[in-house]
Structures are given as C-alpha cells and as structure tokens.
Amino acid sequence: MGHFAKIDGSNLVTTVTIIDDDEIRGNGGEYTTEVETYVGELLGGNWKQCSHTGRKRVNFPSIGWIWNASKDGFEEPKGDWRDAWTLNETTLKYDPPHAAPTDAQQLTGVTWTPIEEEDKKDSDGNDVVIKQFHHISWSNTNNRWESSTFNRDGTKDKDWYWDNSNTEFVER
C-alpha cells in the first residue's frame, strides 16, 4: 500500500489516502510523476506520494501540512504559538529557540511512598518511590520552557522555568 497526500493550490495537504501497490506498479511505480498523475486522474486534484515512515519526502504529512517542492518533502505547519521557532531545513520541522531539557535534566519533582503497606516494596523487596511525571511546555510569551510540580494530593507545588544558560530548572 502506498500513501498519497492531496495538495491544494496553496500547497496545503487536504487529505491523505492509500493506493494499492499493484496500481502503483502498473502506473509508473513509486514516487514517479506518472503514478501521481494517475492518482490525480483517479481521485481528482494534485497528489504527492508520501512515506508512512518518512523514508521519502522527509515527513509523513497530516492535513494542514505543507508540500515544500524545493525540498521535495512535507513541512509541518508552524502554528501561531511558535512565533520564535525556526524551520529546520533538513527535518522540515520547527525548532525552538532553545533546546528542550533532556530526559536526564527533567525535574524529578515531588516523590512519595505508596499509602498502602503492601505497595511500599517491589517484588525484590526494594522500597518503592513514586516520582511524578512532568510535562514541560513552551511558553511563547516568555520564550522559554516551563513546568510545574504537584503535591501528592494533586495541588500545585511550584512553577519552574528552564534556564538555558545554566541548563537547569529554576523556581519562578
């Protein structure tokens, strides 16, 4: 099965569909002008073959992505919330002004032990410590990565921001 993206007059992807491999082979083969013309005649409109794995045409597009003919690939939409982000000319995705913290740099936040006695040890007899999950998000207003930590009862503990120059989270 081959994937094809329908491109409108502004180079926006309006739909993505699947075409049988036999139809692709019988009409010019993969990633040829002939097969894209065939799909256009079959379904109407302008179509570009795309790779589900991103092996060809840089990215697998969704509705709203942009066909970038000069890069022979699909570019993710920028969106209003990424004003300060720049297009990576290789990946055709937008990069933030500052790299996101790595997994090793993420906040560990509040930790606690389970309430129930039987949950306090793992199967090997080790103490169980629960660490909360931290979702970081980009703040376009503040031009930085931000996060929050929460108490065991779900109430907010603290707000944090990523200090890119010191590569650490700082309490706001």
* DSSP per position, 89-123: TTT-SEE-SSPPPPGGGS----EE--SSGGGSB-T
9, pLDDT greater than 90: yes
Residue where a domain stops, chosen among 46, 79, 95 = 95
Question: What does the pLDDT average to over 70-82?
Answer: 91
Higher pLDDT, 145 or 119: 145
111 shares a domain with 90: no
109 shares a domain with 91: no
Least confident of 3-7, 26-30, 83-87, 147-151: 147-151
Residue where a domain stops, chosen among 70, 95, 120 = 95
133 shares a domain with 61: no
The reported pLDDT for the residue numbered 133 is 64
In the numeric block, the tokens 């936040």 are attached to 109
- What's the mean pLDDT when you consider all of the chain? 88
110, pLDDT greater than 70: no
84 shares a domain with 7: yes
150 shares a domain with 84: no
Beta bridge partners of 66: 12, 75
120, pLDDT greater than 80: no
86, pLDDT greater than 80: yes
Residue where a domain stops, chosen among 60, 95, 130 = 95
47, pLDDT greater than 80: yes
Integer Cα distance of 27 and 114 in angstroms? 62
DSSP 170: E
Question: What does the pLDDT average to over 39-50?
Answer: 98
The reported pLDDT for the residue numbered 20 is 97
Residue 66's domain comprises 2-95
122 shares a domain with 164: yes
Number of domains forming the structure of the chain: 2
17 shares a domain with 85: yes
121, pLDDT greater than 80: no
Least confident of 21-35, 85-99, 145-159: 145-159
76 shares a domain with 126: no
85 shares a domain with 9: yes
**pLDDT-above-70 percentage for the chain:** 90
